[in-house]
């Protein structure tokens, strides 16, 4: 489990940032999500600071300790998939952050709905679709 800040610019220290968590047992998937969303998911939204997790226990621990604006969970992760984690967090965490689930195929959307996902992006991951999904969740949480 590592923490990385995307787009850290010393001149922007006074600018707002939001914390996002990405879970996958595959480092390449985590990197693809971080690179797709970029420094800022959309104009007018705050910069993003990422926390990565490769394990189920790491996700639960980080969510219990942190204040994340959005959780991006890999539904295809080995051992414990993101859908099971999403369902657990939605049931156990008061004011659980919005969850974006990455599915292996579009037909798995119904499973992500069962997991109470707030957004779904199916493989192959489209950077624009992923960025728009994260931006939409951030806008929804910022709305009064």
Tens digits of residue pLDDT in 69-95: 999 999 999 999 999 999 999 999 999
**Res. 142 pLDDT band, cuts 50 70 90:** confident
Q: Please tell me the predicted confidence (pLDDT) of residue 141.
A: 87
For residue 37, is pLDDT > 70?
A: yes
Specify whether the CB–CB gap between 87 and 36 falls below 8 A.
no
- The three-state secondary structure class of 55 is coil
Entry pTM: 0.89
Mean per-residue pLDDT of the chain: 90
Domain with 126, as residue range(s), is 2-6+15-142
Query: Residue 131's closest CA among 63, 59, 72, 84?
Result: 72
Total structural domains in the chain? 1
Q: Please tell me the predicted confidence (pLDDT) of residue 11.
A: 40
Cα dihedral: 117, 26, 123, 42 (round 10): 70
Name the percent of the chain lying above pLDDT 70.
90
Query: In this structure, what CATH number is given to the domain that contains residue 127?
Result: 3.40.50.2300
Specify whether the CB–CB gap between 93 and 64 falls below 8 A.
yes
């Amino acid at each position: 489990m590592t923490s990385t800040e995307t787009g850290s610019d010393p001149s922007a220290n006074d600018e707002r940032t939001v914390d996002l968590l990405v879970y996958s047992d595959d480092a390449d998937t985590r990197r693809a999500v971080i690179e797709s969303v970029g420094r800022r998911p959309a104009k007018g939204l705050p910069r993003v600071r990422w926390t990565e997790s490769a394990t189920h226990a790491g996700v639960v621990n980080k969510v219990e300790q942190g204040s994340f604006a959005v959780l991006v969970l890999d539904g295809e992760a080995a051992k414990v998939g993101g859908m099971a984690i999403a369902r657990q967090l939605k049931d156990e965490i008061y004011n659980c952050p919005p969850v974006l689930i990455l599915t292996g195929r579009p037909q798995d959307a119904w499973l992500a709905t069962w997991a109470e996902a707030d957004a779904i992006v199916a493989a192959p991951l489209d950077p624009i679709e992923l960025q728009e999904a994260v931006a939409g969740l951030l806008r929804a949480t910022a709305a009064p």
